[in-house]
Amino acid sequence: MNDAEQEPLWEGPGEVGLVEPRDFVYGEPFTFESGQTLPGFQIRYETYGHLNEKGDNAILICHALSGDHHCAGIHHLEDRKPGWWNNIIGPGKPIDTRRFFVVCSNCLGGCQGSTGPSSLNPETGKPYGLSFPFVTIRDMVRAQRRLIDHLGIQQLFAVIGGSMGGMQVLQWGIEYPDRVRRLIPLATTARQNAQAIAFNQVGRQAIITDEGWCGGEYEPEKGPRVGLRIARMMAHITYLSDKGMERKFGRRRRQGEKVNYSFETDFEVESYLQYQGKSFLNRFDARSYVYFTRALDYFDLPTQYGSLEDAFAGLKARCLVIGFTSDWLFPPEQNRKIVLAMLNRRKDASYAEIPMDFGHDSFLIDAPELYELVRAFLE
Amino acid sequence: MNDAEQEPLWEGPGEVGLVEPRDFVYGEPFTFESGQTLPGFQIRYETYGHLNEKGDNAILICHALSGDHHCAGIHHLEDRKPGWWNNIIGPGKPIDTRRFFVVCSNCLGGCQGSTGPSSLNPETGKPYGLSFPFVTIRDMVRAQRRLIDHLGIQQLFAVIGGSMGGMQVLQWGIEYPDRVRRLIPLATTARQNAQAIAFNQVGRQAIITDEGWCGGEYEPEKGPRVGLRIARMMAHITYLSDKGMERKFGRRRRQGEKVNYSFETDFEVESYLQYQGKSFLNRFDARSYVYFTRALDYFDLPTQYGSLEDAFAGLKARCLVIGFTSDWLFPPEQNRKIVLAMLNRRKDASYAEIPMDFGHDSFLIDAPELYELVRAFLE
């Protein structure tokens, strides 16, 4: 029994199991939406399953703000956790790796292997810092397309992603209508609204006004650790929901019922947030956080294309938008608007709203209703 | 016309006009709920109107987290703004100073004249800092009662306040059932929930992890200015609403429609928040912020009294609870629960819900519907 528990849970017939990230190097000049350029870039990615001969069974997974390319399987047998979407990707799972070739890449501008503001600028030998070009959702998608070309994928069977990933999904359908057949954007928006911009702004300010920020030119292991931790703690609240937090933590105390007069961590919800903030420091770079949050803020399809309907004018893919009732960061209303605009343009689009209490992060949580929807839409 | 515009707007027949704060010194030992003690304390307060001979026409106004005793009138003819609730208090206004003697005091633990953690400890000659006793809502109310005694007020005609002020209103009805006849708690809760604790925790962490915090023992004009600013910016978002921010700011940019690639203040909502954060530094002390947010977190009538119904067992005052539809910090549901518990105990209680888009701060905003409710309830 004890031996069994020590064996990795993520190896076995229904699991992706051991995987290895790979790097794609694009050696051509790349112009960002801002007009800024890079002589080339690297994209770190993972794949699960096999590409068929026709090259038409690939599914691209797009990650959210704090996600990465490691969405399924494990890197080492000792890993305590698998990739961030392991519950939905694998042999026999809704995104079935026996049938599909699944690709997930770290976004351009990221800090987990893809070129970003913490990468070394070959011209100076130092991190790019703020000299790195501004990255938009469209830039991320255009970089992903180079990877998809490189992998020999003619047409993606589907592009799927939640939150910032959902924005990329929409952008894929708009930018490359002939390269993708199905879209599943989850818990997302076509237009970042004022409240979401405001939260991102506070997070960025916490980072930028931290003395460790040094104009974005800090050394590895240093940097605005106080600010990044605060930014993450705050953002994490916006990923949950009032009801969900109440059910998970309520006013439970760490040390029984007694009031433990303290300004630090008397309540369980407090130590949970502290843990979230601290662990984030070990896996994310503050520069990428600043860049990605700005990419979210600048995402505004209605303005970019004249109207949301016009944004979807050339769309060819079938689209299933999924919203979550308790998501107050990108609430159901914002998800519904996407589908309405598509339907107004006579596109093949549908909307599903899943009643879950876990807030914005619902799409990351074990959810049978979500699994069935995704499975059915991919059949 | 120009001359007229330069005259203070807050002088005239319908205005409280010039007022002067006063200090009440309580020279007896005071034991806090935590068991900690002070040899005495000072409370800064203002009054408007006149106490009648029977001493029964007084209304106590309780301020919210970042409020103070200056709720109506002006201190100087040059003041650009009157007290924070001037729109509802004055001759002929809903809280009519021709009829009522209105009292508002800076809470115990505050930083605007009442004794608090930034006050000098007479024993050391230095600010109390974290050696100041923990302050609860009940402690604030018990200190206010000493002031009410001092002013010769036998029985308050009403106690009124929103948010943290609303908690004090509830506590007044519970603690001193014979000393108050009417209660109007607005936009409040009987029990701080997990999400609200979480936001407070992030704010406190921003302050406490700022190097300027120095364990709460910083000099005047110094201190955790970066952290306090971040805490205020974040909290300010929770006082507004998604819809309200969308209507007020949307995605409007400071410099026209063009994307001004910047991580700082491209959008108007960003400069608004920056302004809110910065101006807060000039009027609030980080120590009081930490103490007051903890007072909010520790407010939990159901646990303190066994159940919310039991908390109201001895209540004698008539109560009108007012919630605001767009308040997501203390949402309507939490306000309704107060009234339900009172009604279950056969108390004289009613509930009004005002449809306003301004979020939690709706109670501070010019609102005819609110004015009529308050006026009618005080008649």
pLDDT in tens, B14-28: 999 999 999 999 999
Residues of A catalogued as catalytic: 163, 327, 360
Q: What is the pLDDT of residue B119?
A: 97
Q: Is A242 in Cβ contact with B226 (below 8 Å)? A: no
Q: Which residues in chain B are contacts of A245 at CB distance < 8 A?
A: 193-195, 198
* CB-CB contact of A200 with A164 (8 Å): no
Query: Which residues of B are designated catalytic?
Result: 163, 327, 360
Average pLDDT of B282-293?
97
Residues A291, A151 contacting (CB under 8 angstroms): no
Which of A32, A237, A290 is best to mutate for the B interface (most B CBs within 10 A)?
A: A237
pLDDT tops 90 at residue A157: yes
Instruction: Give CA–CA dist A34/A135, Å, rounded.
Output: 8
DSSP H helices, chain A, are 2-6, 137-150, 164-175, 194-208, 225-239, 242-248, 268-281, 286-297, 301-305, 308-311, 332-344, 368-378
* pLDDT, tens only, A189-248: 999 999 999 999 999 999 999 999 999 999 888 999 999 999 999 999 999 999 999 999
Distance CA A79, CA A352 (A): 34
Nearest-by-CA chain A residue for B204: A263
Question: Minimal Cα–Cα distance from A183 to chain B, Å?
Answer: 27
User: How far apart are the CA of B15 and the nearest CA of chain A, in angstroms?
Assistant: 35
Q: What residues pair up with B161 in beta bridges, in sequence order?
A: B62, B185
Q: What is the mean pLDDT of residues A359-375?
A: 96
- The token duo for B44 is 């800064």
pLDDT above 60: residue B6: no
Q: What is the pLDDT of residues A256-276, one digit of tens each?
A: 778 889 998 999 999 999 999
Cβ contact, residue pair B261, A230, below 8 Å: no
Chain A contact set for B277 (CB, 8 A): 205
Q: What is the dihedral of CA A135, A136, A140, A141, to 10 degrees?
A: -160
pLDDT tens track for A297-335: 999 999 999 999 999 999 999 999 999 999 999 999 999
**pLDDT band, very low/low/confident/very high, at A2 (cuts 50, 70, 90):** very low
CA distance from start to end of chain A: 38
Q: Which fold has domain B2-192+301-378?
A: Rossmann fold (3.40.50)
Q: Is the pLDDT score of A23 beyond 50?
A: yes
Query: For the ranges A85-94, A190-199, A253-262, B77-86, which has the lowest average pLDDT?
Result: A253-262
What residues 25-44 of chain B have any CB closer than 8 A to a CB of chain A? Answer: 34
| pLDDT (0 to 100) of residue B1 | 39
Q: Which of residues 108-137 of A touch B (CB under 8 A)?
A: 130, 134
Q: Up-side HSE of residue B293: CA atoms within 13 Å toward CB?
A: 26
Q: Is the pLDDT of residue B174 over 60?
A: yes
> What does the pLDDT read at residue B2?
46
Closest CB to B202 among A210, A265, A273? A273
CATH number of A2-194+299-378: 3.40.50.1820
One-letter amino acid for residue B295 of the chain: A
Q: Is B44 helix (H, G, I), strand (E, B) or coil?
A: strand
A226, A297, A331: residue with CB nearest B209: A226
Could you give the percent of chain B with pLDDT greater than 90? 93
Q: What is the pLDDT of residues B313-365, one digit of tens each?
A: 999 999 999 999 999 999 999 999 999 999 999 999 999 999 999 999 999 99
Cβ–Cβ gap A250/B193 under 8 Å: yes
Cβ contacts of A33-41, under 8 Å, gap ≥ 24: A33/A134, A33/A136, A33/A138, A33/A139, A34/A133, A34/A134, A34/A136, A34/B259, A34/B261, A36/A133, A36/A134, A37/A133, A38/A115, A38/A133, A39/A122, A41/A108, A41/A114, A41/A115, A41/A143
pLDDT digits (tens, 9 = 90+) for B206-253: 999 999 999 999 988 899 999 999 999 999 999 999 999 999 999 999
Beta strands at A22-26 and A41-48: parallel, antiparallel or unpaired = antiparallel
Please say if the pLDDT value at position A138 is more than 60.
Answer: yes
User: CB distance from B211 to chain A under 8 Å?
Assistant: yes
**Cα diameter, chain A:** 66
Across the interface, of A192, A211, A249, the residue whose CB is closest to B194 is A249
Q: Which residues on chain A are in Cβ contact (under 8 Å) with B248?
A: 194
The whole-angstrom distance between A251's CA and the closest CA on chain B is 6
- Number of residue pairs across A and B with CB atoms under 8 Å? 150
pLDDT band at B4 (very low <50, low <70, confident <90, very high): very low
Of A205, A274, A297, the CB nearest to B233: A205
Does B300 touch chain A if contact means CB atoms closer than 8 Å?
A: yes
The shortest CB-CB distance from B300 to any of A202, A251, A300 is to A251
What pLDDT does B260 receive? 86
Residues B201, A242: C-beta atoms closer than 8 Å: no
Sign of CA dihedral A8, A13, A15, A20: positive
CB-based contact A209 B197, cutoff 8 Å: no
- Tell me the mean pLDDT in the region A146-157: 97
Lowest model confidence (mean pLDDT) among A107-116, A248-257, B314-323 = A248-257
pLDDT > 70? residue B141 = yes
B193-297: CATH topology is: Rna Polymerase Sigma Factor; Chain: A (1.10.1740)
Task: Give residue limits of the domains in chain B.
Answer: 2-192+301-378, 193-297
pLDDT over 90, % of chain A: 93
Q: Average pLDDT, stretch B291-314? A: 98
Domain A195-297 sits in CATH at: 1.10.1740.110
